[in-house]
Structure 1
């Protein structure tokens, strides 16, 4: 059985964190350009957007892993 090397492992971790960062930044940007104007809500920070993603993943089933 062939495993992944140390450099490949860190690249996978880095890419995962990078995608999480991009999705969070996209959510924050979309919220801040839409919600304050449409619904008179406040703008949100990066960490508030990150928490919204976690809540959405919990409520709507963030992963669909089946055997």
Structure 2
């Protein structure tokens, strides 16, 4: 059981955790874009993708394959 005195300290961490999650999401999107542009374009001859297209692909993959970082199990 959590101590009442530590509750404000725990809630103070939430903005940092949310900020870290957003930074990781944007970093993974940039990594996906880079990997796509150096691999898929050379193998299949398709065009390079933009950062926001990589971001959307990451979200679609998370929805389709259930790989969400933000999953909460009850």
RMSD (Å) for aligned C-alpha atoms: 1.6
For residue 48 of structure 2, give the secondary structure of its aligned residue in structure 1: coil
> Cα distance 1:66–1:13, how it changes in 2: closer, same or farther (>3 A)?
closer
Shift, 1:65, TM fit: 4.3
Please name the residue that 2:17 is paired with: 12
Shift, 1:12, TM fit: 1.4
Unaligned 5+ segments in structure 1 are: none
Q: Could you tell me which of 10, 14, 29 is aligned with 1:24?
A: 29
User: How many pairs were matched up?
Assistant: 65
Give TM-score, length-normalised by structure 1: 0.83
Give TM-score, length-normalised by structure 2: 0.76
Q: Could you tell me which of 13, 18, 40 is aligned with 1:35?
A: 40
Bigger Cα Rg: 2
